[in-house]
Structure 1
Amino acid sequence: METLFSPVILFFVLGALAAFARSDLAFPEPMSKALSLYLMCAIGLKGGILVAGNGFTIDLLLAATAGLVLSCLIPVGAFAVLRSFGRLDSTNAAAVAAHYGSVSVVTFIAGNQILTDSGMPPAGYMIAVLALMETPAIIVGLFLARGGNGMKMQSGQELMRETLLNGSVVLLTGSFIIGLVIGKEGFEPIAPVFETGFNGLLCLFLLDMGLIAARRISHARSLTARLVLLAIIFPIVNGTIGCIVGAMIGLDVGTTTALAILAASASYIAVPAAMRLALPKADAGLYLSLSLAVTFPFNITIGIPLYTQLAKLMV
């Protein structure tokens, strides 16, 4: 109940309710982008600083390996289910599967803050795991699409450029490296900007995300009941697998929950950008609606508390 009634979740619910009620509440696009950049920069810095203080450990190696394996295997299972139960063609099934194998930065940031406020902060190296999990699912999704219908895709060089130089990947990775370099002492002069105001700005960002998610699902035309059901089942199954893996490799409760959140989340920033380039025939409205309008709200309101309780039972 403490997690469900955290300010982060309540602001997201407020945004969703305002959108469903057709309120004219809205954030200017430049403000939304600025908040997004700020949050990714702040979380990257904090992760790098924590790793700089604790050093590179066996837990980091194990978590990174687990994240990479999950990012490669989740799209394969999702693709099979989307083709059979979801009744999607190969191209759309592969595009959607890639979203579920990759990660949602915002879901992770929200979960990280909720866990920290609850006295279970995840290890700082999970930022590195998040960055590692962005790309493999995209590559696997494209292989699945090619295997399904032999389609011709954009060159590998273009795809890797679009993926690796995506803004969220660059900012998270770069901020993490800066945190490693400057350490705790170097962070102190800028701490008032990136630490003191973090919670309040995160609440504003989640308010905006609630508005966007609710409005997108209200206008989604390609969603079916089967696909909406899968968009809820996928995070539950993947999050449970993340909890099991985290417990098996000996992570603490907060870090196990963070791994579960990463496994359960679905990308709606990095992967859509890559899919637009590599699979232009895939239905962008479909994969964005599933990841942003269904899975993201589920994870923010129900998923994070669920994965936290599962991690407490398993660790």
Structure 2
Amino acid sequence: MDLCRPDSQHPLGLSHSQPFKLAEELLHNFVTNLFQPLLLFFFMGFLVPILKVPFEFPKALYQSLVIYLLIAIGWHGGELMAHLSPREIAVAGGLAAVGFVTNAFIGYLATVILKRTTRMRQIDAVTVGAYYGSDSAGTFVTCLGILSMLSILHDSYMPVMLAVMEIPGCLIGLFLISRLRRKGMDPAGNMPGEAGYTAPAKQAAGSESILSPKILHEVFLNPGLFMLFGGIVVGFISGVQALKDPSIVEGP
């Protein structure tokens, strides 16, 4: 057997020159699309708080855009999911579960790192950690726009991933805050040993559990998730109907 064939392949099935070609293509795409208007506006918005620009987006307009984007993302994703086979839907469910666990781990890990490496109050560390255990619809839309500009296809169940991966940050934050309350957190969010701490006049006996109906309702039926999941369900139903008769339903 000749172990030194000139056309030997990469262990992943790529020739030895292909990884370099892929890296070169990735760099070329990055440089080429770095100054696309969509990305430039994203960077501009990112600089607003950094440069302390006294700008406040109108709340009513912001809420209107959020409602439109969440429903449109869910609707479009739901219609595409109607074309998936049962096996592909099972794969999507498995990936959603992995995404849920991953975001929960990221949220908890971020909280631990912040507590050990910064002087932040524990409640603030939990808040920031929970933020990192969630995802961003704005970033998601930006990524979809970039993929569209590059004519790159993506799996249709990505909106489901967005919705599912929004939940862990909320759960981790509520769980860790409930632990802080049991350890004596005062009404202002200060813990024993932190500046400004005032002992509660009465310890909150049997503080609200993370599994209480009220907490679960706030987590799973908050407006953002409701509109996103609602859009997915509506899109899926309309997509199934369109498979039978394309003239029945028009997409978003």
Q: Place the TM-score, normalised by the shorter chain, in its bin.
A: 0.5 to 0.7
Any idea what the Cα deviations from partners look like across 1:56-88, whole Å, max 9, x if unmatched? 414313311211111221122111101011222
Q: Distance in 2 between matches of 1:141 and 1:85?
A: 19
Distance 1:157 1:3, change over 3 A: farther
- The Cα shift of 1:190 comes to 4.5
Q: Which position in structure 2 is the counterpart of 1:5?
A: 35
Q: Which is helix-richer, 1 or 2?
A: 1
Q: Which position in structure 2 is the counterpart of 1:98?
A: 130
Matches within 5 A, 1:1-315: 1-15=31-45, 20=51, 27-56=57-86, 57=88, 58-148=90-180, 150=182, 151=185, 153-154=207-208, 156-183=212-239, 185=242, 190-191=250-251, 194=252
- The Cα shift of 1:123 comes to 0.9
Give the root-mean-square deviation of aligned CA atoms.
2.8
Q: Distance in 1 between matches of 2:247 and 2:106?
A: 36
Distance 1:2 1:44, change over 3 A: farther
> What code does the residue aligned with 1:65 have?
A
- The Cα shift of 1:148 comes to 4.6
> What code does the residue aligned with 1:160 have?
L
Q: Distance in 2 between matches of 1:111 and 1:188?
A: 31
Q: Decide whether the 8 Å contact of 2:99 with 2:165 is kept in 1.
A: yes
Question: TM-score by structure 1 length?
Answer: 0.53
Length, aligned pairs only: 191
> What code does the residue aligned with 1:159 have?
I
Q: Distance in 1 between matches of 2:38 and 2:44?
A: 10
Q: Percent identity at matched positions? A: 30
Question: TM-score by structure 2 length?
Answer: 0.65
Q: Distance in 2 between matches of 1:145 and 1:21?
A: 30
Distance 1:148 1:162, change over 3 A: closer
Distance 1:154 1:8, change over 3 A: farther
Q: Distance in 2 between matches of 1:14 and 1:22?
A: 11
Q: Decide whether the 8 Å contact of 2:238 with 2:249 is kept in 1.
A: no
- The Cα shift of 1:133 comes to 1.6
Q: Distance in 2 between matches of 1:33 and 1:148?
A: 32
Q: Look at both structures and tell me which one has the larger radius of gyration over its CA atoms.
A: 2
Any idea what the Cα deviations from partners look like across 1:70-129, whole Å, max 9, x if unmatched? 122112211110101122232221121111111111111211221232122321112112
